[in-house]
Amino acid sequence: MKKPIYVRSFSAILDEGIYSPAGFAPWPQGQNGIFEITREQVLAKPYPAFGKLCLSDKLAFCAASVALSHCPVTEPLFTGICLGLPLGSLSTDLRYMESVLSAFPSPALFSATLPSSAIADIAIFFGLKGENRVFVNESDSGYTAMENAVRLLQTGKCNTVAVLYVLALEEKDFALLGDGNTGKNRAYALILSTSCDDGGKAMALEFKSAQPNKDQPCDSGELYFHSIMQLLHTRSAGSVPFNGNCVAGHFSMKKDVS
């Protein structure tokens, strides 16, 4: 019998501001949004390494921090992380190659070229010791991260998983994507759990996979994460379909599940 899965907390860091269970916080006037996000906006306690994080690692850390602040970890040994990173650490890779070509390779940049470096920052700071996964695939990475998180929960390898989807590029690198892409950095976090002990505030998540429909266009940018976030933000029940290059399926949200 499948275990029920609940969304205990969430966050979204977007062009317009930060979404969380506490509501929506727009960027202050004069702040260049995501590119100038500060530690104080996502985390109450100091983190000296925050300013040294590359953009993709910083957005992953920020999304996780906001979500976890509303759902403190009680069993770190069984709390995992699944990260979907469609563009990997592309901007960091480019900056590292620039340092190599300048004859002064940067050790700090080199360590951040590993896509898993974002998971390491989160796991170490919050003391999470459960299993973790990172998926780098432009079309289906977020979906695969969600799918693997559900599997970890259903098999009992974890009782809580932070699912992250992060698309991050420095402003000057978006031109590499072509098609007039002006840059839409974004980061989402969902805290999934097999337990619900918060008086029915969590929402139930049902996940079903399917074969991609080749007769329908593929969903771009994995924007179903945004649809899931809207349901959570408004505490609304609903179903969110997805049709990708290699995977497909849908997520259903139900409220008042205590």
Q: Could you list the pLDDT tens digit for every one of the 258 residues in the chain? A: 678 899 999 999 999 999 999 999 999 999 988 999 999 999 999 999 998 898 899 999 999 999 999 998 889 999 999 999 988 888 788 888 888 888 888 888 888 888 888 999 999 999 999 999 999 876 788 888 998 999 999 999 999 999 999 998 888 887 777 664 545 789 999 999 998 766 566 788 888 877 877 777 776 667 788 889 999 999 899 988 887 777 788 888 887 555
pLDDT in tens, 94-149: 888 888 888 888 888 888 888 888 999 999 999 999 999 999 876 788 888 998 99
Within 13 Å of residue 204, how many CA atoms lie on the same side as its CB? Answer: 9
Torsion angles phi and psi, residue 206, rounded to 5: -115, 130
Beta strands in 66-198 (DSSP E): 79-84, 132-135, 160-167, 186-193
Q: How far apart are CA 54 and CA 212, in angstroms?
A: 34
Q: How far apart are CA 172 and CA 190, in angstroms?
A: 29
H-only helix segments in 138-240: 141-154, 224-234
Residue 120, class by beta-carbon neighbours within 10 Å (0-12 exposed, 13-18 middle, 19+ buried)? middle
Residue 132, class by beta-carbon neighbours within 10 Å (0-12 exposed, 13-18 middle, 19+ buried)? buried
Instruction: Note if the pTM is more than 0.75.
Output: yes
Helix (H) or strand (E) holding 12: strand 5-14
> Residue 25 has what pLDDT?
95
> Residue 115 has what pLDDT?
82
Q: How far apart are CA 162 and CA 179, in angstroms?
A: 32
Written as six digits, the tokens of 18 are 């930060």
Residue 73, class by beta-carbon neighbours within 10 Å (0-12 exposed, 13-18 middle, 19+ buried)? middle
